[in-house]
Structure 1
Amino acid sequence: MEATHRVLVVDDDADIRDLLVFVLEQAGLEVSWAETGEDALAKVREHQPDLVTLDLTLPDMDGTEVCRRLREFSDAYVVMITGRASETDRLVGLEVGADDYMNKPFSPREVLARVSALLRRPRLGAPSEPASSVEEPAPVAGPADAELDVGGGLVLDSARHVATLDGERVMLTPAEFDLLRALATRPGEAWEREELVREVWQGEFIESDFLVDVHIANLRRKLRRAGSRTTWIRTVGGASYLYDPS
């Protein structure tokens, strides 16, 4: 299959790195790799990958610090890969801008499912192409080529993956934007976490409660920092979320 997307694999464990590179290249992706945080940041600038798989434990810096620095200049999807079992490590990773995470050990099928699901979602108006032969559901429904006024001065530009509040940009990660857009296209309707995972992440391996809750918390915090007093996203019954710009 012709390589239509670029992926950077970041891991200092040669066995895991080689496995990831092999699996992703077999899926038809253009793959480069790095084994340190500094090298990873340099290669993100040089190659401008669509997606980065990022180990949390690197010889020169923690993977969360790599992700934080990467987010200053790149909107590449970031999948963190960790052997750390604690929820805190995953929480910090998602808070600094990761879109998804995988625990070690992982299966090649899991890697392809996660990567394929993310790469099927458009970035900055680029056309969406299948990343592999893995079957995935359709991307989030809604206007893909126009601005969507979702109330309260909040406007979502799906073509560029940009959210603005009263004309000022709100800096969201790709996953945060897609989550907000999904909720906003069905205002007043409650979404269960599992529904949001299927709609936004399109993956069968994802722990829905933790992933959705962290991204919702990040969205609320960023909208508050932008000066909004609106609630935007309400929790319903302790297990569902509802978009409400009133």
Structure 2
Amino acid sequence: MGITVGYEAQDRRMAVIIEDDADIRHLLESVLTQAGFDVIATSNGHDGIQAVRAYEPIVTTLDVSMPGMDGFEVAKRLRTFSQTYLVMLTARDEEIDTLQGLEAGADDYLTKPFRPRELRARIEALLRRPRMMSAGEPAAAAAMATPAPTTTAPPAPAAAPLAPAAAPPPGTRTGAHAAPGAPDAASTVDRQAAQDTGEGWIEHNGLRLNREMRLASLDGRDLELTRTEFDLLVAVVESKRRVRTKADLALLLRGESYVTAYYVTEADKRAVEVHMGNLRKKLGDSLTTPRWLETVRGVGYRLAASDE
């Protein structure tokens, strides 16, 4: 199958590389091995899919431009059976390529040439996010959200993640992700806000969320959401009528605080828009008369008013 293995043990953190360029593949092997992963390196989409199926990696890096099956198609196929954290690497810097990758199922992306320290920082940020679990997955997979300690020196301060590794799930911090936005002037804000229904559940207009159990349902029907979609939905619902900016939400998905040295690009903001658009489709929400996700033009998003 053309696979090389970084270490023999399979009880540690696993990572799969899908990259046709030998030099970049070797660089990725080195970066991920130093980060404490057992590395499985493949040179094409078919072998990469087989490796992900066989090794159930925590993280998969995926090249976009490969002969035969490209990265977009590989990502779609991986998402039919795997919840691996998927980082897409592309030499294309067009916005449409990035958005297409996110829509195909990527959790994050980097353009080539990339900085190894930034790749490590982004992967560690992904690992701090709780993982969505499907009914058929083994419970042991939940350990993916807690990375094992590494033996290498931490990255330089400029690229090191700013949020603590044991950060609580999005929504529990009162100020870390707070975004500037004008407060709602309506006197009925509190009545319009999502209501806590006990046992960790929050309900708003038939939508029920449980952040701790990472469950979502709408009018009694379970919602199949990705990790990113769930995190965004919880962030908006728990913020109630307070506006969450696109930059704020982009940083939240990285596990970083609002006051940070990291720069939020226009592509990062567009990625949030794509995820919110996908979320709206799954909710069946309307742009003109929203029940859950209200767009504040030029700023971001907030929870729509209550039906009551």
TM range (shorter): 0.7 to 0.9
Structure 2 counterpart of 1:219, one-letter code: L
Contact 1:77–1:174 under 8 Å retained in 2: no
Alignment correspondent of 1:37: 45
Aligned-CA RMSD value: 2.5
The percentage of aligned residue pairs carrying the same residue is 42
Match of 2:300 in 1: 240
CA distance in 2, matches of 1:20, 1:191: 35
Query: Is the aligned partner of 1:51 residue 2:111?
Result: no
- Offset, 1:188: 1.1
Q: Structure 1, unaligned stretches of length 5 or more?
A: none
Q: Are 2:127 and 1:119 equivalent residues in the alignment?
A: yes
1:222 is aligned to 2:282: yes
Say if 1:154 and 1:163, in contact at 8 Å, map to a contact too.
yes
Query: Could you tell me which amino acid in structure 2 is paired with residue 220 of structure 1?
Result: R
Q: Distance in 2 between matches of 1:26 and 1:43?
A: 20
Where structure 2 has 5 or more consecutive residues not aligned to the other structure, the ranges are: 1-8, 134-138, 155-159, 173-198, 257-261
Count of aligned residue pairs for this structure pair: 240
For residue 72 of structure 1, report the CA deviation from its aligned partner.
Answer: 1.1
TM-score, normalised to structure 1, is 0.87
TM-score w.r.t. structure 2 length? 0.70
Secondary structure of 2:17's partner? strand
Alignment partner for residue 202 of structure 2, among 140, 149, 155? 149
Q: Return 10-19 or 118-127, whichever deviates more.
A: 118-127
Shift of 1:149: 2.7
Measured in 2, the distance between the counterparts of 1:202 and 1:148 equals: 23
**Secondary structure of 1:163's match?**
strand
1:213 is aligned to 273
Give the number of the structure whose alpha-carbon radius of gyration is greater.
2
Q: Who is 2:248 aligned against?
A: 195
Equivalent of residue 85 in structure 1, options 87, 93, 96: 93
Q: Which amino acid aligns with 1:129?
A: T
State the partner residue of 2:161: 135
Distance in 1 (CA, whole Å) between partners of 2:200 and 2:84 is 22
**CA shift in 2, pair 1:157/1:51, >3 Å:** farther
After TM superposition, give the deviation of residue 205 of structure 1 in Å.
5.5
Counterpart code for 2:246: R
Say which SS state the counterpart of residue 150 (structure 1) adopts.
Answer: strand
User: Given the alignment of the two structures, is residue 96 of structure 1 paired with residue 104 of structure 2, yes or no?
Assistant: yes
Change (3 A) 1:35 1:206: farther
CA contact (8 A) 2:217 2:223 kept: yes
Distance 1:113 1:195, change over 3 A: same
Output the CA distance in 1 between the equivalents of 2:305 and 2:49: 37
